Structure 1
Amino acid sequence: MTTTGKILSAAVLGAAVAVAGPALAQKTSVSLGMVLEPPNLDPTAGAAAAIDEVVYANLFEGLTRYAEDGSIQPALAESWDISDDGLSYTFHLHEGVTFHDGTEMTAEDVKFSLDRARAEDSTNAQKVLFEGIEAVEVVDPHTVQVNLSQPDGAFLSNMAWGDAVIVAEESAADNATNPVGTGPFKFEDWREGDSVELTRYEDYWGEPVALESATFKFIDDPTAAFSAMMAGDLDAYPSFPAPENMAQFEADPQFKVIEGSTEGEIIMAMNNAREPFDDIRVRKAVAHAIDRQGLIEGAYFGYGTPIGSHLAPQNPAYVDLTEQSAYDPELSRELLAEAGYEEGFETTLKLPPPSYARRGGEILASYLRDVGIEAEIINVEWAQWLQSVFEDTDYDLTVVAHTEPMDINIYARDDYYFNYDSEEFRQIMAELENTADDEARTELLKQAQRKLADDYVNAFLFQLPKLGVAKTDLMGLWQDQPTQANDLTDVHWKE
């Protein structure tokens, strides 16, 4: 940043400092940028990652929670006991916890929340997390016992998802627009199309947060996001949408670049139930038509790690299967001809707003065109994507990042938008759910990755990096993102 025109005489500078003195007091607010606006603010009733990006650990809390390093830590439950057979979890709750409306949080609220999530009419987007719960019993006001139908080695991590936060029966119905949680921040205001504001909850049960307020501003256009940072309208943009600007931020002393990893597998999803993608030869042709490294360079300026199945490279069970679907356009053409599409075919590619999708989609369409597949690009807003693609499965191809942690089990769901149907895969997932031994779980996860790669369910592209930018003196933002969250509990301004 140039200093031209900014040099003041000693006298003028002294006067300026004297006038500005009160303004130099410790800052207690922060303004953060986000690409997508959440469709609602209830993490128990929506699939959009943007919901958790605002409310996870800030406004709502679960029995357990993810730490930045991906480990599972106590949250509303200060401790727990597990029965020898792995079928009962007894959670000991913190005392003195209140919801933001002043009511006490007790074991009854835990029972209500878990029973609601697993109920037949549940609208929870991750209802599968709760299917193994057989009963929830209140032992006393601060102790609750959860009984499982079978051992589940992932149960504690399941309880750390945003979908498993604890809510009160009295306020649950209104959480979409007036959320009431137990976190260190409470809901203040939502200016739709613009921002959500949270303020510090003074009666928070845990360690008080440094910030008095936080505003999440929704800016999906990369150019506008850059301008907002440079103009000082934003203090940070934890997942910046324009990787091409990273070098400029790095060279500017007023900013710091925060580069880390996420759980976001970027895929080009294929509707396995719709012709011609119900033919494995066509899906395989699509996968081999894509130059992953070229896509990463073109869409994300070299940031990102190629993947060949649905698991994050940082996971200990990760298997590098990229060679199984390596870039081979000639093989793609042969497979299409074998499937009866020697002259290619026309299809559609629905793209949500994130830059990895819009920019990546243009490049992917070019790769497909080279092998004879003409993909018409249809840009849709996030709410449209959630409805038409995710809910109605009305699509041929789409590009999206699946940012939930350890979500490989989505391929076992009968009604999931991929429309993938494999009894063998479902059996692997069933065995995984019944397995607590780490080595055995790792082997099952490897089998699951290989099965998805063998069936060419989707075109697995690359792992979404976490590229954030912040003012130099803003401390405590996550570098890595083990779950979809902008955790503000440790964020503060450097003194």
Structure 2
Amino acid sequence: MRGRKRVAVEVVVGLALLVVSSLALAPLVGMAGAAEAGKVIRVGLWSAPGSLSAINADSSYGYFVVHFIYDSLVEMRPDMSFRPRLARSWEISADGRTYTFHLDPRATWHDGRPITAEDVRFTIETIATPGVQTNRGNAIKSIEGLDANGKKMGATIPGVRVIDAHTIAITTKTAVDPARFLEQFGTGVFVIPKHLLEGLSPEQLARADALLRPTVGSGPFRFVRYVTDQYVELERYDHYYRGPARVDRILIRIAPAPSIAAALINGEIDVVAGPGIGEVPLQDWELVKRAAHLRPVTEPSLGYQFLAINHARPYFQDVRVRRAIAMAVDVDLMVQQLYKGQAVRARGPFSPVTPYENRDLDPIPHDPAAARALLSQAGWERGRTVELLVPTGNTLREQTAAIIQANLQAVGMQVRIQRLDFPTVLSRVFSDDFDLVVLGWTDTFDPDHVSSTFRTGGQYNLSNFSDPEVDALIDAAAAERDPARRKELYDRLQVLFQERVPAVFLYYPNMLAAVNVRLVDADPSIVPFEFRASEWDVRP
């Protein structure tokens, strides 16, 4: 009887939680009833996408939607292999510098126009044009004729050559690891329609309807509508060159983290969006695992949470202050108490699921006494209060910020937390209007992602970190083709990161996801599963 009582209590508690959570789900219910005919899959996304531009979506939330609407040249599969997408085949020259892509001649835009090599060239040139608002520079920066941020250094780009309507050759500055180039460029550039955007100035591109309301894409689904802060509706493109998708519609619903478990259990969403943008909160994980109609999916993550320190602030330029911050923060407490062990402490910005993490390197120790001593040596002003920004919507991230605040105040640094919605936080960060901010970053499998995040002038160098020795090491590692030698260089880079403290690397949370058992081939993954959306299906 004791076991039955415990089960009964769990059921009652679970129902109570669902009732409370369902109140927060009110905006989800019935918002798209007219679109529910046919096979429909409803995906839960934590926060609203600020932009759906294929060249400048403002976050992972926006690019999640972009993946359904636009195609890249290749796609990465869960086994880390690369498969054809717009490019049905490709060859690499003997010197490792020229990649020749052969486009699928069946591919068309959603308005029926053919997709050609000129569209690919136009996309690269648009991204590379100074003044164009884009965050795809890191994807093309290795192309000959572009600078470290992927911008043109002359009137033309010598590394891009159209051979015929369906063939384009891309030449890199130096020979690079093919896996690096195919991941960065092949999967990271979403081809945009030249016939709709040609001739627009950078200012006009920033507000072009064809990018912000992308009714003409190239992927398996077409954009129908975006009801702000509620849902994005997509419909199948029946003439998709790889064959029409198996389902009729995708509804991407905005389901804040506190509501997402109830939405799954109540059947209001069928699957979550995945790492960092739509997961099951840890406190709801056991509840979701017990739901008979849901399949839990978990795996180690590519994404990490980190504390960005604004190096542009004079009071953070002394490395002793930054190291004091790192030593004050109790990351083990976060991993054990907040995540109940469902996270891995970060040694640096390289995921433990890749071979590039330096496993011989111990994390910076939690040592409040040493942190206080370093602040004293650096002459830290005891009366100064710094602001810690934290985006709302991710409960564990907000709790992480509270721990950081308490840890820093315990060593003599006064901290005021400012909670803001994600787009507002990003706006302030990109305007350098911050002291400290807790954010998440999703790595690529190739380690060169650090060139955009920690190299001087990198597109996502949110901390404004600059160090010539770090820059030289990042460049050398990026140009190295031998995996063993690259590993050595990145191991050294991680040692430098601990010495120079560009940011405080916190932890890699495990992905906690779930999918309705009636869905087929739609399990979330650390490799973006939305790339495979045309294969998703629903059992009768």
> Given the two structures, how large is their TM-score scaled by the length of structure 1?
0.89
Name 2:356's counterpart in structure 1.
317
User: Which residue, 468, 472, 480 being the options, matches 2:513?
Assistant: 468
Find out whether 1:156 has 2:172 as its counterpart.
no
Aligned mates of 2:62, 2:355 — CA distance in 1: 28
Name the amino acid aligned to 1:205: Y
Letter matched to residue 110 of structure 1? V
Equivalent position of 2:407 in the other structure? 367
Q: Counterpart amino acid of 1:88? A: T
Alpha-carbon distance, 1:156 to partner: 1.6
Distance of 2:54 and 2:80 partners within structure 1: 19
Alpha-carbon contact 1:404-1:484 (below 8 Å) kept = no
Aligned alpha-carbon RMSD (Å)? 2.4
What code does the residue aligned with 2:107 have?
V
Alignment of 1:92-171 (within 5 A): 92-134=102-144, 135-153=159-177, 154-162=180-188, 164-171=189-196
Contact (CA 8 Å) 2:295, 2:516: kept in 1 or not? yes
**How far apart, CA to CA, are the structure 2 residues paired with 1:299 and 1:107?**
49
CA contact (8 A) 1:266 1:402 kept: yes
| Greater shift in the superposed pair: 475-484 or 69-78 | 475-484
Please report how far the alpha carbon of residue 350 of structure 1 lies from its aligned counterpart in structure 2 after TM superposition: 0.3
Aligned equivalents of 2:254 and 2:456: distance in 1?
32
**How far does residue 160 in structure 1 lie from its aligned partner after superposition?**
3.4
Distance 1:152 1:47 in 2: 28
| TM norm structure 2 | 0.82
- Identity rate of aligned residues, in percent? 24
Name 1:229's counterpart in structure 2: 264
1:64 corresponds in structure 2 to: 74
Q: Aligned AA for 2:401?
A: G
Instruction: Tell me the alpha carbon deviations over residues 375-398 of structure 1, each in whole angstroms, 9 at most, x when there is no partner.
Output: 100011111112111x21211111
Task: Give the corresponding residue for 1:411.
Answer: 454
Is this contact kept in 1: 2:339–2:509, CA < 8 A? no
Equivalence for 1:10: none
For 1:330, the aligned partner's letter is A
Q: How does 1:22-421 map to 2 (within 5 A)?
A: 28-56=39-67, 58-134=68-144, 135-153=159-177, 154-162=180-188, 164-172=189-197, 173=208, 174-220=210-256, 222-238=257-273, 239-320=278-359, 323-341=362-380, 343=382, 345-353=384-392, 354-389=394-429, 391-405=430-444, 406=447, 407-409=449-451, 410-414=453-457, 416-421=461-466
Partners of 2:524 and 2:249 in 1: how far apart? 21
Contact residue 350 and residue 443 of structure 2 kept, 8 A: no
- Partners in 2 of 1:131 and 1:262 — Cα distance? 26
User: In the alignment, what sits opposite 1:17?
Assistant: none
Verify the 8 A CA contact 2:215 2:224 in the aligned structure 1.
Answer: no
> Is the 1:267–1:460 contact (alpha carbons within 8 Å) kept by the matching residues of 2?
yes
Distance 1:224 1:293 in 2: 27
Deviation at 1:355, TM superposition (A): 2.5
Q: How many residues align?
A: 471
Q: Which residue of 2 aligns with 1:489?
A: 534
Q: Per the alignment, in what secondary structure is the counterpart of residue 217 of structure 1?
A: strand
Specify which of 420, 429, 434 is matched with residue 474 of structure 2.
429
Give the C-alpha shift of residue 211 in structure 1: 1.2
Instruction: Identify the structure with bigger relative contact order (alpha carbons < 8 Å, sequence gap 6+).
Output: 1
Matched residue SS, 1:157:
helix
Q: Secondary structure at the match of 2:300?
A: strand
Q: Is the partner of 2:94 in helix, strand or coil?
A: coil
Partner of 2:487: 442
The C-alpha deviation readout for 1:133-190, integer Å capped at 9, x for no partner, is 233111111111112222232222112344x111111335422222422111111111
- Counterpart in 2 of 1:9? none
Q: CA deviation at 1:97?
A: 0.3
Distance 2:521 2:104 in 1: 25
Larger deviation, residues 191-200 vs 480-489: 480-489
Match for 1:454 among 477, 499, 509? 499
Q: Point out where structure 1 has 5 or more consecutive residues left out of the alignment.
A: 5-25
1:351 and 1:278 map into 2 onto residues whose CA distance is 22
More helix by proportion, 1 or 2? 2
The alpha-carbon deviation at position 344 of structure 1 amounts to 7.0
The structure-2 alpha-carbon separation of the partners of 1:474 and 1:484, relative to structure 1 and needing over 3 Å to count, comes to closer
Shift of 1:86: 2.1
